[in-house]
Amino acid sequence: MKSVGVNRNGAHLPADVVFQSLELLDPNTFEMLLEGGPANAK
Amino acid sequence: MSAGRAVLWDMDGTLIDSEEFHWIAWRDTMANEGITITHKQFLSSFGQRNDSILPRWLGASTPERIERIANAKEEQYRELIRTNGISPLPGVVHWVRQPHAAGWLQAIASAAPRANIKAILQALSPPRTSFKAWFRPRMYATESLSLKCTCWPLLVSAYRLNDALLWKTPSLVLKERDALG
């Protein structure tokens, strides 16, 4: 199971990737996480 | 996106920003009890369960009073949602619509009262989006679950999902897949 953290205040999240806003997600974030590839946090 | 996958969404802080409505509801409800709550006190409690918050604010009290005040606060919160409406956070519509279109299951995993989840989905839905239809009906975690993280294994096993992405706010602790059984 993969996780994406949405964190606007800078607090730590124990997620595979953490983004400040859903607007900043790369279009292929879901697929890359589930296929085991890298997903860059922003 | 592949079918047979799922996204479990946290609600407050992920789909919506409901902090202001929670603040107003707590402030006014406690004022009706003759207790002044500062915004700082509210912020330090935000994200915690009502039965953890209220004993600190009330001091010595009865379970019946705590339940009555909590219910009053949640009803006022829902009324604020119904009256003022609420918008999804930026990017939410796109990222909820996309998995739905690809046939993924989607659910809301939240410890919020079920009535709150329903009120929010209703407020989010018309007229701009079919937001409510993008989530699996009745697939919620409810207030009967003591910890948010405990609901996810139940949801996952109930629907025998192949894989899932979890979205979570800082208040949540993720259980690893191996621990889900």
Could you read off the pLDDT of A8-41 as tens digits, one per residue? 776 667 677 788 888 888 888 877 777 765 555 5
* Residues B144, B41: Cα–Cα separation, whole Å: 25
Supply angle C-alpha B144, B14, B95, rounded to 5.
120
Distances (CA, A) of B119 to A32, B55, B122: 33, 27, 5
Q: What is the ipTM of this complex?
A: 0.82
Report, as an integer, the average pLDDT of B118-126. 82
pTM for the complete prediction? Answer: 0.75
Question: Which of A8, A16, A22 is the best residue to mutate to test the B interface, defined by the most B CB atoms within 10 Å of its own CB?
Answer: A22
Percent of chain B with pLDDT over 70: 68
Picking from B6, B15, B12, the residue whose alpha carbon sits closest to that of residue B156 is B6
DSSP B85-126: ---BPTTHHHHHHHHHHTT-EEEE---S-HHHHHHHHHHHST
Distances (CA, A) of B136 to A14, A18, B46, B155: 26, 25, 27, 11
> Is B174 at the interface with chain A, CB within 8 A?
yes
Q: Which residues pair with B166 in a beta bridge?
A: A3, B8
pLDDT > 70? residue B137: no
Which residues of A fall below an 8 Å CB-CB distance to B? 1-9, 11-15, 21-25, 30-31, 33-34
Could you read off the pLDDT of B162-180 as tens digits, one per residue? 445 555 443 333 333 333 3
* Residues B127, B125: Cα–Cα separation, whole Å: 6
Separation in Å, CA of B32 to nearest CA in chain A = 32
* Residues A9, A30: Cα–Cα separation, whole Å: 23
Q: Which helix (H) or strand (E) holds B43?
A: helix B39-45
Separation in Å, CA of B41 to nearest CA in chain A = 18
The length of chain A is 42
pLDDT > 60? residue B149: no
Identify the pLDDT of residue B165. Answer: 54
Q: Which helix (H) or strand (E) holds B69?
A: helix B63-84
- List CB contacts (< 8 A) between B164 and chain A: 1-2
Q: Please report the number of interchain residue pairs, chain A to chain B, with beta-carbon separation below 8 angstroms.
A: 71
Please check whether residue B110 is in contact with residue B11, taking contact to mean a CB–CB distance below 8 angstroms: yes
pLDDT > 80? residue A3: no
